Amino acid sequence: MLFDTHVHLNDDQYAEDMDEVIARAKNAGVEYMVVVGFDRKTIEKALEIISEHDLIYASVGWHPVDAIDMTEDDLQWLEEVAAHPKVVALGEMGLDYHWDKSPKEIQKEVFRKQIRLAKRINMPIIIHNRDATQDIIQILREEHAEEVGGIMHCFSGSAEVAKQCLDLNFYISLGGPVTFKNAKKPKEVAIQVPLDRLLIETDCPYLAPHPYRGKRNEPSYVRLVAEQIADLKGISLEEVAQITTANAKKVFGID
């Protein structure tokens, strides 16, 4: 049984065939998923999906790319929707220096506000990081995010950075890139990070694993991520599935 900890089934790319995508996931052994919403539209869609599917949960947050759009009302609304019994984390939140829609200072402020909210309501957080590792670590430390902990989603940093994140009470979640032939760093991370601190995800529809690279991703492919980790660690797929699912249930508080 597998747990895909980060999906965007709320993306328009699944408007036509979401039921088939979910059925394929179940057939591949993917029982649990967390649908991540990162603005009003995707959060509303995520809430709709979790009301229709038993083992699909949601995370709600504000994406750093759109930080400039977040109002105080939005933050208040995040707190309200976070009270839903199937909302299990806040995020994705963080910093994204690849796109320049939102200035860095605004991204940092919106990130800090969401960490403070998570601490107030005691929920784990899902971190999105693109080209901003040092600033992310600094803010997590300054805000004492270790009190709630959470997930470094689609982790692409080095094994040393992974260690710093573990020390901050975060799990490392690996996605499709760990399966790419030239992905030295994620493979090293898969080897170095103890299995009881690893999670798996697709981040679908993005970042499809090998051999689907460049195509639309979907939760059934998370099995390929698990197989790659099993290979790198020299253990069975069953063990990876069992431990990463237990880890995900623990961080999200699902029994």
Binding site for Zn ion (CB under 5 A): 36, 92, 128, 203
Q: Cβ closer to Zn ion: 203 or 218?
A: 203
CA atoms within 13 A on the CB side of 204: 30
Per the listing, tokens 């806040």 go with 90
C-beta separation of 41 from 20 below 8 A: no
Residue nearest to Zn ion (CB): 128
Rounded CA separation 110/127 (Å): 13
The residues pairing with 57 across neighbouring beta strands, listed in sequence order, are 34
Is 84 assigned to a binding site? no
Query: What does the alpha-carbon distance between residue 91 and residue 60 come to, in Å, rounded to a whole number?
Result: 5
Minimal distance, residue 33 CB to Zn ion, in Å: 12
128 annotated as belonging to a binding site for a ligand: yes
Pairwise CA distance, residues 194 & 179, whole Å = 18
Q: Is 210 annotated as a binding residue?
A: no
Rank residues 95 and 230 by Cβ distance to Zn ion and give the closer one: 95
Q: Nearest distance from residue 73's CB to Zn ion, in Å? A: 23
Closest to Zn ion by CB, 63 vs 86, is 63
Q: Is 144 annotated as a binding residue?
A: no
Q: Which positions make up the binding site?
A: 6, 8, 92, 128, 153, 203
Q: Which positions make up the binding site for a divalent metal cation?
A: 6, 8, 92, 128, 153, 203
